[in-house]
Structure 1
Amino acid sequence: MSERRDPYQVLGVARTATPEEIQRAYRTLARRQHPDINKEPGAEDRFKEINEAYHVLSDPERRARHDKAGRERARPRGVQTVDIDDLFSSMFGGRYGTGADTEAHITVGVEEAFRGGRRTVTLPDADGRPRRYDVNIPAGVVDGQRIRLAGQGAPGVAGGPPGDLYLVVALAPHPRFRVQGRDVVLDLPVAPWEAALGARVPLDAPGGPVRVDVPAGTSSGRRLRLRGQGLPNPRGRPGDLYAEVRIMVPATLSTRERHLFEELGKASAYDPRGR
C-alpha cells in the first residue's frame, strides 16, 4: 500500500488553517473529485483521501493527535518524551490485554443515509491486507457519526479480547441535496404561472417522490418546509426538508406564449424593483 499523505497536504491548507479554511478547502475539493461528477481514473480514490483528511482535521481531538504525532516524528534523535497512557497502551494493549480500538472512514450517500441498510466494505487490516466487513448503516446516520463494529479492532495482548473498530461517516456531496445536520435542502424549479397562481408540484426527495404546495405569489428563494421529511432520527425528531423555490423561464417561447407574456406585461402594474 502507498503511504498516506499528510491531511494538510491533501486539502492544500497550512497547519495554522482555521476550521473555516479547512471546511472551504474540503468542499471545493470534494465537489471537484466526487465520482458522480469527475469520471477521470483515480477520482474515487482521491475523493476518499479528501474525506479522510477532512475528518482528521475537522475534529479538534483528532487534529491535535495528528499534530502531536507530527511533532514527535520531527523530534531529533535521542530526544524522547514518555506519555504514561501510551506506555501502558504499548505494554498492555490499551486496556490491560484488550486490543486497541481502531478507526476508519467510510463515505455514505444521502439516499443511503436516509434509508439505511447493510453494506460490505473493504478496509486494510493492521498488516495492510484488505479485509471485508459487513456494516449496518443506520437510517438517519449523519456526517461525523461513528459506527461501532465490536471486536473488529486490533487483536488483544496475551490472549485478551480484540478492540473495536469505529467507522467515521462522511456524507458524500450530492448534486441536488444539501445536508445541514438532519435537515435537507434542495432546489424546487417552478414555472412563473405556478409561482403566481399557486400549484401542487412534484419533488424528488431523499426518501422518494413527494408533492409540495407552492402558495400563490411565491418568489424565487422562498423556502417551503416539509416537516419531518429530512434525515430520520432514531432517538428523536427527524430533520425537515426545505425546498427552495427557483422560478424558471422558458429558454424559447412559442408565438402564443410570447403574445401572452406581452399581454401580461401590458396589463400588470407590478414592479419587481419597487420603484
Structure 2
Amino acid sequence: MHQFAPNLGAVDGPQRHTAETMEYKDYYKILGVERGADSAAIKQAYRRLARKYHPDVNHEAGAEDQFKDVQEAYEVLRDDEKRQAYDQLGANWKAGQQFRPPPGWGGSGFNHGGFQGFSGDADGFSDFFRNLFGGGAAGFGFEQNMGGGFSSAPPPQTAELRISLQEAYSGAQKTLSIGRQAKQLKVRIPKGVNQGQQIRLAGQADGADLYLRIDIAPHPVFRLDGKDVHLDLPVSPWEAALGGKIQVPTLGGTIQMSVPAGARSGQKMRLRGRGLNGGDQILHLQIVNPDTPSREDKAAFEALAEHFDFDPREELQRRV
C-alpha cells in the first residue's frame, strides 16, 4: 500500500503545480459519523440523509447540493480501500480548507496497491473527489470487488401497485409485503398521483431500489382521462328544460351546481379543479325520461305533446 508523508500542505520545488488546489471535504462530518464508525453506522447515516435531501422530496434551496455531498461521502466511506486512502490524508484537515493532493498521488489513487482509480461516471462529484480518486467514480450502480474489477449492484426492482381512483385523488397509505423475507413496508401514496406514475423506494427491495408503478383501477361511475375525470350525469326532462340546481357527485364529495335552462343531452359542463392533481371533472348531460307505468303518467306526457308544437327532427330534415 502506498504511504504518504504527514505534511500534506503545499509542495515545494518543481512539483508544486502538478496538483490543483481545492477545498477539502470532510466526508465523516458530511455523514455526521465519527472517523471510527463502522460500515453499518455509515450506511445508516447515508440512508437517513439521502432520504432527507433527495430532490424528489426536498425542494428547498441547497438540498440537491447536500444530496450530492452525501452521495460522494458514502461513495468513499462505504468502500474499505477508498476509505483507507482518504484516511491517509490525515485527520487534521477541516472542511473548507484549501487542499492539494500530496506529491506522488497524481490524481489516480493508489499506484502500488492495485488500486488504479475508477472507471465509472463521476458527474456531479467534487474536484476534491476527482483529484484524489481519478476521473471517475464507481457510483451507486457498481461496487468494487476484491479482484480489482467491478460487479453490478442489485438492479432496481419494479412492481405494480393497484389503487382506487379515490385513493389517487385523496392520497393514501398502503402496506406492502416485499422481498424474500416478506418485509412489511408502509408506502405513502401522494395526493393526485396518476396512472403509470412511479414511486421510488430507495434500497427497499433487498438492498435495491424499488419502483412502484401506479395502476388506477376502473371506477364504476367516473372515467379517468389524463388528469381529467369524466362523469355521465343524468338529468330529467324538466331539469333540462327549466334549469335549476342539482346534486353532483365528485371525487371530493357531493356538490351543488346549476344546470342551465334548455340544456341538451350530450352537452358538456366542466367543474374546475375536481380532477386529479389540478385536472377538471367533465360532466356529460344525459336526459333521462321517467318510466310511465300508469295511465296518469302517460296522460301527462300526452298533455305535453298537445301543448308543444315541437318537432325535434325538423332541423335534421332541412339539412338532409
Structure with greater helix share of residues: 1
Larger radius of gyration: 2
**Residue number in structure 2 paired with 1:252:** 292
CA apart distance, 1:200 = 1.2
TM-score with structure 2 setting the length: 0.50
**Residue number in structure 2 paired with 1:186:** 231
1:77-156 to 2 correspondence within 5 Å? 95-97=141-143, 98-123=153-178, 125=179, 127=180, 129-155=181-207
The C-alpha deviation readout for 1:62-121, integer Å capped at 9, x for no partner, is xxxxxxxxxxxxxxxxxxxxxxx9xxxxxx997112432111001011111000021112
The yes-or-no answer on 1:269 pairing with 2:309 is yes
The yes-or-no answer on 1:167 pairing with 2:212 is yes
**Higher RCO, 1 or 2 (CA under 8 Å, sep at least 6)?**
1
The C-alpha deviation readout for 1:29-70, integer Å capped at 9, x for no partner, is xxxxxxxxxxxxxxxxxxxxxxxxxxxxxxxxxxxxxxxxxx
TM-score with structure 1 setting the length: 0.57
| Matches of 1:121 and 1:261, distance apart in 2 | 57
- Mind listing any 5+ residue stretches in structure 1 that lack a counterpart? 1-84, 86-91, 156-162, 233-237
| Matches of 2:196 and 2:217, distance apart in 1 | 12
| Matches of 2:312 and 2:219, distance apart in 1 | 33
- Mind listing any 5+ residue stretches in structure 2 that lack a counterpart? 1-119, 121-137, 144-152
- Runs of 4 or more off by more than 3 Å in structure 1? 253-257
The alignment covers a number of residue pairs equal to 170
**Residue number in structure 2 paired with 1:216:** 261
Describe the shift of the 1:254–1:212 C-alpha distance in structure 2 as closer, same or farther (beyond 3 A).
farther
**Residue number in structure 2 paired with 1:177:** 222
**Residue number in structure 2 paired with 1:195:** 240
CA apart distance, 1:164 = 1.3
What's the secondary structure of 2:205's corresponding residue? Answer: coil
Contact 1:94 1:100 in 2 (8 A): no
